[in-house]
C-alpha cells in the first residue's frame, strides 16, 4: 500500500501516519518526492483496511499495490536508481556501459589478455565466470576460487571492475571479496536464499532474468534483494525460452522500456546468451541500446574456437573492437537525440 500525501502536508503529518502504520503492525517507509511525499507500507500479507488512514490530516489518497513487488516499483520510488560499480555509474541518464569478457575464466593469459583488450577498446567492466552453472556435470565447471584470483590480477592490470557469478549462499562472502558486481545467473533467479544473502552485502548485484521467468517474477526476485537492504541492483535481460529454436533463446527487447515504466532499477541486456550466435550479438547489442538499455554485457574471447564454454556466441577481438566503435557512435547519437 502507498499513502500519497498532499503537497502541503507537514513532517508532523508524515510522522503521525508512520506511527499509526507501525501500530497496525506494518513498516512505514517515507518516500520524499519533488512534488509530494508518499509513505510506503510494507509487511502486510493482504489487503489493508485504509478507512482510518484516509481520515488523517495530510493524506491525499491511498494506492493499494497488489503486485508482489513494492520496493523495486516506480510507485514506491519514482526516481531512477543509479548503481555505482566501483565508480562506474549505471542507469538514469548515464552513458550506457559495456561489460565484456569471456564466458569463463580459463587461464591467467586468457583473462589478462581479454581484460587489457576490453579496456583498450573502451569497455567499462570485465566479466568472467569462475563458478559456472553448466547444464550438465561433465563439462567445464569453472576454476572456482582460483578463477577469482585470476580475475583479481586481470582487474588490477586493466583497471576494470570485475563482474562474476555467485551460485550459492555459502560462497557470497568469498565472491564478494573479488567482485565489484555480483552476478546472479538465470538459473538462480529464484534461488531465494541466494537472493537474500546478496541482499545483505554492501556490493551491487546484477540479477539476470530466469529463462522462463515472467516480468512479474523477475521483479519479485529483485524485491528479495531490496527487502534485505541492498538497493544496488541492476536487472539483465538475457533471452527467454520460446518455441523458437533457431536462436539459443528469444531476446525479449520490449522488456527494456517496460521495466523502465514499472521499476526504477536499471536494466541491461546480454545479447550473447540471448542469441547464442556470434553474428547476431552486435546487432542485438545495438538494438538494446536504442531500446534504452543501461548497458550491454557481451562475451568476448581471444580464441573463441578454443573456448571451454560458449565459444560460438563469443565475439572475436576484432568483432568486439568493431562493436565498440559502432556503440561509440550510437551513444553519441542517443545522448543527443
Ligand atoms: C553467464 O553470464 O555467464 C551466464 C551463465 O548467463 P545466464 O545465467 O544468463 O545463462
Ligand atoms: Mn556463457
Q: Tell me which residue range forms the domain holding 48.
A: 2-63
Same domain, yes or no, for 25 and 165?
no
Residue 72 lies in a domain: no
Residue 170 lies in a domain: yes
Distance CA 10, CA 298 (A): 49
Residue 293, CA distances (Å) to 32, 48, 63, 254, 328 in order: 27, 36, 29, 10, 15
When pLDDT is cut at 50, 70 and 90, the band that residue 35 belongs to is confident
What pLDDT score does 215 carry?
98
Same domain, yes or no, for 59 and 87?
no
What pLDDT score does 36 carry?
83
Pocket test for ligand 1, best of 140, 175, 270 (most atoms within 8 A of CB): 270
39-43, 110-114, 253-257, 326-330: the lowest-pLDDT one: 39-43
- Number of the ligand 1 atom closest to the C-alpha atom of 185: 8
Name the residue among 91, 171, 161 with its Cα closest to residue 131.
171
319 has a pLDDT exceeding 80: yes
Atom 10 in ligand 1: residue holding the nearest Cα: 186
Ligand 2 centroid–CA 5 distance in Å is 47
Same domain, yes or no, for 122 and 48?
no
Mean pLDDT, the chain, rounded, equals 96
Ligand 2 centroid–CA 91 distance in Å is 24
What pLDDT score does 192 carry?
98
Residue 69 lies in a domain: no
What pLDDT score does 234 carry?
99
Of 12, 28, 63, which residue constitutes the final position of a domain? 63
Atom 8 in ligand 1: residue holding the nearest Cα: 185
Residues 285 and 274 sit within 8 Å (Cβ to Cβ): no
Residue 199 lies in a domain: yes
Same domain, yes or no, for 35 and 175?
no
107 has a pLDDT exceeding 90: yes
Distance CA 22, CA 39 (A): 12
Residues 100 and 272 sit within 8 Å (Cβ to Cβ): no
58 has a pLDDT exceeding 80: yes
Q: At which residue does the C-alpha cell 581471444 appear?
A: 302
Q: Tell me what the mean pLDDT of segment 258-265 comes to.
A: 98
Q: Tell me what the mean pLDDT of segment 241-254 comes to.
A: 98
Same domain, yes or no, for 140 and 266?
yes
Ligand 1 binding site (Cβ under 6 Å of any ligand atom) = 103, 129, 133, 165, 185-187, 208, 238, 270, 273
130 has a pLDDT exceeding 90: yes
Residue 164, CA distances (Å) to 145, 172, 206 in order: 11, 11, 9
Ligand 2 centroid–CA 282 distance in Å is 16
Ligand 2 centroid–CA 314 distance in Å is 8
33 has a pLDDT exceeding 90: no
Same domain, yes or no, for 34 and 140?
no
Same domain, yes or no, for 51 and 152?
no
When pLDDT is cut at 50, 70 and 90, the band that residue 4 belongs to is very high
The per-residue pLDDT for range 135-157, each reduced to its tens digit, is: 999 999 999 999 999 999 999 99
The per-residue pLDDT for range 201-219, each reduced to its tens digit, is: 999 999 999 999 999 999 9
Q: Tell me what the mean pLDDT of segment 180-195 comes to.
A: 98
162 has a pLDDT exceeding 90: yes
Same domain, yes or no, for 9 and 46?
yes
The per-residue pLDDT for range 82-106, each reduced to its tens digit, is: 999 999 999 999 999 999 999 999 9
CA angle 203, 207, 213 (to 5 degrees): 160
Same domain, yes or no, for 135 and 23?
no
% of residues, the chain, pLDDT over 90: 91
Ligand 1 centroid–CA 131 distance in Å is 11
Same domain, yes or no, for 201 and 282?
yes
- Number of the ligand 1 atom closest to the C-alpha atom of 187: 8
Q: How many domains in the chain?
A: 2
298: domain CATH number is 3.20.20.70
26: domain CATH number is 3.30.70.1140
Same domain, yes or no, for 155 and 201?
yes
Q: 135-138: which pairs have CB atoms within 8 A and are 24 or more residues apart?
A: none
Question: Cβ atoms within 10 A of the Cβ of 135, count?
Answer: 6
Residue 68 lies in a domain: no
When pLDDT is cut at 50, 70 and 90, the band that residue 62 belongs to is very high
What pLDDT score does 158 carry?
98
Residue 207 lies in a domain: yes
Distance CA 47, CA 132 (A): 42
Classified as helix, coil or strand, 295 is: strand
Pocket test for ligand 1, best of 106, 114, 175, 186 (most atoms within 8 A of CB): 186
What length is written for the chain?
337
Residue 152 lies in a domain: yes
Tell me if the pTM is above 0.85.
yes
Same domain, yes or no, for 108 and 26?
no
What pLDDT score does 34 carry?
76
Ligand 1 centroid–CA 35 distance in Å is 41
Helices H / strands E in the chain, number of each: 11, 14
Residue 76 lies in a domain: no
Amino acid at each position: 500500500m502507498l499513502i500519497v500525501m498532499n503537497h502541503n502536508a507537514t513532517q508532523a503529518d508524515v510522522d503521525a501516519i508512520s506511527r499509526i502504520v507501525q501500530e497496525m503492525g506494518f513498516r512505514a517507509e517515507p518516500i520524499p518526492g519533488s512534488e509530494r511525499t508518499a509513505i510506503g507500507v510494507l509487511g502486510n500479507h493482504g489487503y489493508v483496511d485504509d478507512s482510518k488512514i484516509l481520515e488523517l490530516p495530510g493524506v491525499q489518497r491511498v494506492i493499494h499495490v497488489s503486485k508482489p513487488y513494492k520496493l523495486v516499483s516506480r510507485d514506491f520510488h519514482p526516481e531512477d536508481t543509479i548503481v555505482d560499480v566501483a565508480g562506474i555509474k549505471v542507469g538514469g541518464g548515464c552513458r550506457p556501459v559495456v561489460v565484456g569478457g569471456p564466458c569463463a575464466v580459463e587461464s591467467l593469459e586468457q583473462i589478462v589478455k581479454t581484460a587489457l583488450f576490453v579496456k583498450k577498446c573502451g569497455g567499462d567492466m570485465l566479466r568472467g565466470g569462475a563458478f559456472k552453472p553448466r547444464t550438465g556435470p561433465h563439462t567445464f565447471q569453472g576454476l572456482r576460487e582460483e578463477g577469482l584470483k585470476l580475475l583479481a590480477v586481470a582487474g588490477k592490470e586493466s583497471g576494470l571492475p570485475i563482474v562474476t557469478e555467485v551460485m550459492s549462499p555459502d560462497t557470497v562472502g568469498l565472491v564478494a571479496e573479488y567482485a565489484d558486481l555480483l552476478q546472479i545467473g538465470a538459473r538462480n533467479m529464484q534461488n531465494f536464499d541466494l537472493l537474500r544473502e546478496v541482499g545483505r552485502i554492501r556490493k551491487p548485484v546484477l540479477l539476470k532474468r530466469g529463462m522462463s521467468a515472467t516480468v512479474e517474477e523477475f521483479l519479485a526476485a529483485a524485491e528479495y534483494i531490496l527487502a534485505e537492504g541492498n538497493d544496488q541492483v541492476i536487472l539483465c535481460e538475457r533471452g527467454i525460452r520460446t518455441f523458437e529454436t533457431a536462436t539459443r533463446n528469444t531476446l525479449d527487447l520490449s522488456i527494456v522500456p517496460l521495466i523502465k515504466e514499472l521499476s526504477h532499477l536499471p536494466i541491461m541486456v546480454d545479447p550473447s546468451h540471448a542469441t547464442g550466435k556470434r553474428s547476431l550479438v552486435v546487432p542485438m547489442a545495438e538494438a538494446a541500446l536504442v531500446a534504452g538499455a543501461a548497458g550491454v554485457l557481451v562475451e568476448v574471447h581471444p580464441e573463441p574456437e578454443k573456448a571451454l564454454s560458449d565459444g560460438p556466441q563469443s565475439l572475436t577481438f576484432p568483432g568486439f573492437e568493431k562493436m565498440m566503435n559502432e556503440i561509440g557512435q550510437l551513444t553519441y547519437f542517443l545522448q543527443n537525440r
